[in-house]
Amino acid sequence: MLIRLEFYIKSDIKMPDKENLKLAVICSSNMNRSMEAHAFLSKKGYQVHSFGTGDKVKLPGTAPDRPNCYEFGTTYEEIYQDLLTKDRSFYTQNGLLHMLDRNRRIKNWPEKFQLSTEQFDVIFTCEERVYDQVVEWLSSRSPVDTASVHVINIDIQDNHEEATIGAFLFCELAALLTSSEDLDNDIDELLNDFETKCQRPIIHCVLFY
């Protein structure tokens, strides 16, 4: 079982520099918040991957009780074409076609975190429910080695404006983490100071692969 260390326990491995830092950004559907941050962090030179944790990829439909649901692995191009066929005007106006156009230029399809075997230095999650799913999944896996991963949550509302704000917050936090000469000693203070600055609660734990 993975060891879960909440809040005040420090990892035994110093954080690599920006070029070698492996980041993951995770929301529910790997559509809006995680992909906005993926795009922004990638442009800043970080190694970043993005995922979702939900059972399905869900996007708003033309009515609250009629969401568009897709399997993980359905390409962004296929989803784009599906919405284009269903109602070009509506999905242009609400920004989904623009979002999907951005997504399909970054990678092929939304990916489910629970199916990934990659290891990361830092995992950013965009809401507490997703954070809990990430921690639960990592904690249920059989031990692989002693590599540590910081799991950090900042709640970001699932809309286009908040996704942009979230991307800036994650990028700024990544810069702080990589600037530390001794993250083992600094991470609690860094997160506390950043929480005060961004005025959003931060949840943090350290797990081991």
Q: CB 60: neighbour CB atoms within 10 A?
A: 15
- The three-state secondary structure class of 205 is strand
Over residues 72-129, the pLDDT tens digits come to 999 999 999 999 999 999 999 999 999 999 999 999 999 999 999 999 999 999 999 9
Q: CB 94: neighbour CB atoms within 10 A?
A: 16
Q: Is the pLDDT of residue 12 over 90?
A: no
Q: Which runs of E-coded beta strand occur in 41-175?
A: 47-52, 57-59, 68-70, 122-125, 148-154
Sign of the dihedral through C-alpha 175, 118, 1, 125 = positive
**Where in the chain is CATH 3.40.50.2300?**
23-54+112-208
- At the topology level of CATH, where does 23-54+112-208 sit? Rossmann fold (3.40.50)
Over residues 166-198, the pLDDT tens digits come to 999 999 999 999 988 887 788 899 999 999 999
Q: Is the pLDDT of residue 132 over 90?
A: yes
pTM of structure: 0.89
